[in-house]
Amino acid sequence: MRSLRMRLFWWTALVSAVVLGILWFAIDRAVHQTLVREFDNVLLEKARAIASMVEQDPDGVHFEFETAEFPEFSAKHDAAYFEVFVGGKAFARSASLGNAELPADADEASNARARKEILPDGGQGRFLGIAFKPYVDPGQEGNIPNNTRPTASVTVARNTEELEKTLLQIRWLTGGLCGLGVLLSGLVLLVVTNRAVRPVRALARRIETLDEKGLSAELDASRLPAELAPIAEKLNGFLRRLQGAFARERAFTADVAHELRTPLAGLLATLEVCASRPRESTEYEAAIAKCLHMLRQMERLVERLLLLARAENGQLHIRTGAVDLMEVMEESLAAIEPGAVARGIRFVRGWEAGQEWPAMADRELLRIVLGNLLDNAAHYAEAGSAVELHVTGVGSQVAAEVISRGHGLTEEDLPRLFERFWRKDAARSSTGLHAGLGLSLAQRLMRAQHGEISVRLEGDRFVATVELPRAQRGPAMAPPVKEG
């Protein structure tokens, strides 16, 4: 795993090394130039001072040098040298020079330039030469003819070992400081990133302790850095959704348990009571019939639960083809109509024979959906009322409608109808056939075949609509739809 911290560290170290290296170089150059310029200025001052000591009077050129004022030129010091030339010939020289010579080339005093050369003693040094006219006292000017004023020059040299040493010290000092800077910036970065990732680690530990029971524990976003707070907030939102999903799953499991346990209890109790003593064969027959009835209810419930689970997991095997909506409606009716007659429910068909409404659908799934709607109508509609059935086509859609009366539903109930195990009132039906799974199952099945199911209220009329894409080919031309 690549550590963000180490990457940050190396990059910062690299960048700071480059930046500080450039800085080091610049400082070194600046210090070097400044010190050398200063050195040269001093050299120039000394040359001027020495030049001012060369005077001319009618007796000739004189040089009055005060050794006490310039101790560096004494033989002892051996660090600075000068030589004065008058008329191109050596005129005077410093004690330090001994018998050695300095070069005589000279510049104008205003733009004298120092140059690096080997000193007579063999050491490194800088030379500066300026040309001048020997000083003449204004009172003596008339006594000296112009043509007798010779051209003089002075060359000054000074050992630069001290300067070089200082420059080297400064170079190492600044270099060391820059290196330290690189190191420090890296360390500071490490510390800072360490502190910065601490909340991330705390967050990670916090998340680690979360399980399906602790989903209600929210992460405290207020104590996190601004960059991390959105993550915690998003995570909280995710946790809330997860918690909701878990709560729904728990409720669903509890509902499933209830729906299965009650008939199971009935089955067990019936069999145990029946077996508790010898009985007439008619009693056994009645008990067997009851048990079979309960088993069928359980089987149907289990089937629906499995179908629902498959639909929710997208594991349905859907084979759509052109299907005549009216034909499927008639097939579904055939199973339900006989039972509905007992409650006085009449199904009124709103279509004429010979019409065809081809829909793209999976015949099996559509039969389950329509069967469910018709069964609900037969079960919940007011006793003795009529249930209207319509099949229509609108644009590229075909639709089937089941309209019944007397459900006692309100607008608020409509969205809840599609919730699993929702019932208007436990009284509306007892355990078993109408467990409140039908519509949520129907919705899943319709979506699986690109259709839609909707419900609405028109006064006391409850309208359930199933819509499907219209098939291009007539059902007569459609290939047989396989079961499953």
Partner 1 sequence: MRVLVVEDFSPLREAIAQGLSEAGFAVDAADNGEDGLWQAKLGEHDVIVLDLMLPKVDGMEILQALRSGNSPSLVLILTARDGAEDRIRGLDAGADDYLVKPFVFGELLARVRALVRRKYQARGNLLRVDDLEVDLVRHTVKRAGAELDLSGREYALLEYLAINADRIVSRTEIIQHVYDFNASLESNVIDVFIGLLRRKVERPGLRRLLHTRRGRGYMLSAKGDDV
Give the integer Cα–Cα distance in Å for 72 and 156. Answer: 12
CA atoms of 261 and 269, how far apart (whole Å): 12
416 binds partner 1 (CB under 8 A): no
Give least dist CB 446 to partner 1, A: 29
Give, as one character, the DSSP assignment of residue 353: T
Residue 406, interface with partner 1 (CB under 8 A)?
Answer: no
> What's the sign of the alpha-carbon dihedral 45, 47, 49, 52?
negative
Stretch that binds partner 1, among 55-63, 137-145, 193-201, 289-297 (CB under 8 A): 289-297
**Do you know the residue count of the chain?**
484
Q: Pick the binder of partner 1 from 124, 151, 430, 472 (CB under 8 A).
A: 430
Tokens, residue 28: 């070194």
Site for partner 1 in 259-288 (CB under 8 A): 259-270, 272-273, 276-277
Residue with smaller CB distance to partner 1, 26 or 273 = 273
Query: CA dihedral defined by 33, 36, 37, 40, rounded to 10 degrees?
Result: -160
Helix (H) or strand (E) holding 184: helix 161-208
Q: Please identify, using beta-carbon distances, which residue of 269 and 302 lies nearer to partner 1.
A: 269
107-108/397-405 β-pairing? unpaired
What separation, in Å, do the N-terminal and C-terminal C-alpha atoms of the chain show? 49
Q: Which of residues 293-332 bind partner 1 (CB under 8 A)?
A: 293-294
Instruction: Provide, rounded to whole angstroms, the least separation between the CB of residue 265 and partner 1.
Output: 4
Structure tokens at 477: 């031309």
* 133 or 261: CB nearest partner 1: 261
Based on CB atoms, which residue is closest to partner 1, 264 or 457? 264
Residue 249 C-beta: closest distance to partner 1, Å: 14
How many residues touch partner 1 (CB under 8 A)?
A: 30
CA pair distance 337, 342, nearest whole angstrom: 9
What's the min distance (Å) between Cβ of 259 and partner 1? 8
Count Cβ neighbours within 10 Å for each residue of 373-410 and write b for 16 or more, e otherwise.
bbbbbbbbbbeebebbbbbeeeeeebbbbbbbbebebe
Instruction: Annotate 251-264 with b (16+ C-beta within 10 A) or e (fewer).
Output: eeeebbeebbebbe
Which span (80-88, 253-261, 309-317, 452-460) binds partner 1, by CB under 8 A? 253-261
Task: Please report whether residue 427 would count as binding partner 1 according to CB under 8 A.
Answer: yes
Q: Is 425 in the site for partner 1 (CB under 8 A)?
A: yes
Q: Which of 207, 254, 306, 309 binds partner 1 (CB under 8 A)?
A: 254
Shortest distance in whole angstroms from residue 394 CB to partner 1: 40
User: Judged by CB, which is closer to partner 1: 32, or 290?
Assistant: 290
Q: Which of 48, 390, 405, 428 contacts partner 1 by CB under 8 A? A: 428
> Closer CB to partner 1, residue 288 or residue 477?
288
Of the candidates 1, 68, 426, 476, which one interacts with partner 1 according to CB under 8 A? 426
Q: Residue 483 phi/psi, 5° resolution?
A: -80, 160
208 in contact with partner 1 (CB under 8 A): no
Q: Does position 432 bind partner 1 by CB under 8 A?
A: yes
Q: Is 433 in the site for partner 1 (CB under 8 A)?
A: no
Which residue do the tokens 């089987």 mark? 299
290 counts as binding partner 1 under rule CB under 8 A:
yes
85-93, 133-141, 237-245, 424-432 -> range binding partner 1 (CB under 8 A): 424-432
Least gap, CB of 270 to partner 1 (angstroms) = 4
Identify which of residues 122 and 278 has a Cβ nearer to partner 1 in the complex. Answer: 278
Sheet with 461-469: list strands edge to edge: 346-349, 386-394, 397-405, 461-469, 452-458
Q: Which is nearer to partner 1, 349 or 428 (CB)?
A: 428
**Pairing relationship of beta strands 452-458 and 135-136 according to DSSP bridges:** unpaired
CA dist 365 and 481 (Å) reads: 11
> Residue 431, interface with partner 1 (CB under 8 A)?
yes
User: Which CB sits closer to partner 1, 258 or 317?
Assistant: 258
Query: What minimum distance in Å lies between the beta carbon of 431 and partner 1?
Result: 5
Residues 6+ apart with CB under 8 A from 270: 287, 290, 291, 294
Segment near partner 1 (CB under 8 A), from 3-11, 203-211, 254-262, 387-395?
A: 254-262
**DSSP secondary structure letters along 212-234:** TTGGGPPP--TTS-TTTHHHHHH
Cα–Cα distances (Å) from 307 to 248, 299, 311, 379, in that order, read: 18, 12, 6, 22
Where on the chain is the footprint of partner 1 (CB under 8 A)? 254, 257-270, 272-273, 276-277, 290-291, 293-294, 425-428, 430-432
